[in-house]
Structure 1
Amino acid sequence: MEKVRPAAPVAPWLGGKKALHGKIIERIEAVDHKTYAEPFVGMGGVFLRRGWKPQLEVANDFNGEVTNLFRILQQHYPQLMDVMRFQISSRREFERLRQVDPSTLTDLQRAARFLYLQRQAFGGQVRGVFGVAADRPPRFSLSRLEPILEAAHERLENVVFENLDWADLIRRYDGPETLFYLDPPYWGGEDDYGKGLFDRSQFEKIATILGGIKGKFLLSINDRPEIRELFSAFRFEEVSLKYTVASGRATDAAELFISNYEPRLSLL
């Protein structure tokens, strides 16, 4: 394992683990492993914040825009900054870019478009609305964003990026010294990341495939009776936390850490 400088996610993401990443990373870093893989990496809310890296790191997402952004950040960071240099925070620009077909753009333009939309959208949901508040600075500011992107660029060195179905990713990288961290859509939110990308039947498939792997896994999910039944063959750790909603009120939430090993909080 090599000590590295953690980085922050480069943009908001639905289910970005803002409240849970510390507890998740604490458990990940307590597991001895040589390969680390995330089948649902999203904006890297856990992946980027880890402070130790093994011999191989694999970031996977079925969303090609996510994979393209990370690849551009890793290999063409200066050019990405040049493309975004004169971008402004604008509702009109947000709506214009949202209507653009990304397949008509270069990879650099695609990455800049996707990053701009994710930064500007309320809650990181591009299908939602332009995010603005009367008492806060704009969500897109290159002067504030540049150090975040630079840190992510450094953290992504030597990372392998995949654009596979989650099941294919697990089959390809499974081994006795592999650790998978899975952050699938939550039960009841299967369509939150796009219609048809993930359906409720996938939970049973996840449990089946994880039951036959050679490596270890840690999965985080909302605590539901259906989830407890499907994953009953594994270990459960209950986690309580509070979410702050738009009105400013805090609501209690119950989550589960599911694993096929006995969790520890330290390799020592």
Structure 2
Amino acid sequence: MLKSPITRLGGKSRLRKNIIEIIPEHTCYVELFFGAGWVYFGKEPSKVEVINDIDKELINLFKMMKYHAPEIERMLEYEFSGRDIFEEYKNVTIENLTEINRAVRFLYLITQSFAGRGNNYGYGSTRQPSQQIFHKEVLSAIKERLRNTYVENLSFEKIIDKYDSENSFFFCDPPYFETAGYGFEFGEKEHLLLRDKLSKLNGKFLLTINDHEKVREWYKDFNIRELEVNYTVSKEQKARGKYKELIIYNY
């Protein structure tokens, strides 16, 4: 079971075992909102796999890891975690970078920042800096995992239209409802559009989302499983603790 090369707010590292255990039989596996890809990297490869995200820098990262992993490994070989390096990557003009340079920049900022947000340098007196991006074997394993995967950068509704079939399975981990920190607009309108598209699928889907009364109403006709997850990544003590999350599926 591979670890994701990046950490992101709302990532499924704590839930992926529960999710993987109930994935149904399928031919085509599709992730509509890839994020850190914890479920994709944790499960056994499917015959056909698709990963999609609207974040162009995230998708560029995985494209470059798929096609140019040796060069990314070379560029990171002598890199280390440093505040000055972090600030240089953060403030560089992206338009002046190659796709490979953009991938290295994005990977560095996400892994060396607080909570994987890419905004503030992550440090602490009780933990070591994130090391996974500096190990060749990690990047090589991820490259192999991506070898037979389609990497898309489209809206979720276009991906559903392109890949839906009776043998398709869609794992959906959208931005949580009425929460902040994602950097992309995804409000009630978008959530309802997603619900409507999933309701008309020929294939199967599994959706993970925060427990909210509106969400329960939207998906009342589907199977809903409630889980409790402990979140500790927050500067504020009051934001830490156990939260209820929902796993919703149509099979």
Q: Which runs of 5+ in 2 are unaligned?
A: none
**What are the equivalent positions in structure 2 for 1:191-210 lying under 5 Å apart?**
191-196=180-185, 198-210=186-198
Shift of 1:243: 2.4
Q: How many residues align?
A: 249
Deviations 1:145-173 (A, max 9, x none): 33322221121111000000011111110
d(CA) in 2 for partners of 1:149, 1:248: 36
2:150 aligned partner: 160
Higher helix share: 2
Residue 227 (structure 1) aligned with residue 215 (structure 2): yes
d(CA) in 1 for partners of 2:233, 2:49: 34
Q: Secondary structure at the match of 2:9?
A: coil
Residue 61 (structure 1) aligned with residue 50 (structure 2): no
Could you tell me which amino acid in structure 2 is paired with residue 177 of structure 1? N
CA contact (8 A) 1:37 1:181 kept: yes
Q: Secondary structure at the match of 1:18?
A: coil
Q: CA RMSD in A?
A: 1.8
1:14 aligned partner: 9
Q: Secondary structure at the match of 2:195?
A: helix
Q: Secondary structure at the match of 1:53?
A: coil
The percent of aligned pairs where both chains have the same amino acid is: 35
Shift of 1:103: 2.5
- Normalized against structure 2, the TM-score is what? 0.93
1:148 aligned partner: 138
d(CA) in 1 for partners of 2:168, 2:131: 37
Of 56, 64, 71, the residue aligned with 1:72 is 64
1:139 aligned partner: 130
d(CA) in 1 for partners of 2:245, 2:193: 20
Could you tell me which amino acid in structure 2 is paired with residue 160 of structure 1? Y
**Which range is displaced more, 93-102 or 249-258?**
249-258
Shift of 1:195: 4.2
Deviations 1:179-212 (A, max 9, x none): 00000011122x522143x223111111111111
Q: Which runs of 5+ in 1 are unaligned?
A: 1-5, 262-268
Q: Secondary structure at the match of 2:110?
A: helix
Shift of 1:88: 2.5
CA contact (8 A) 1:65 1:110 kept: yes
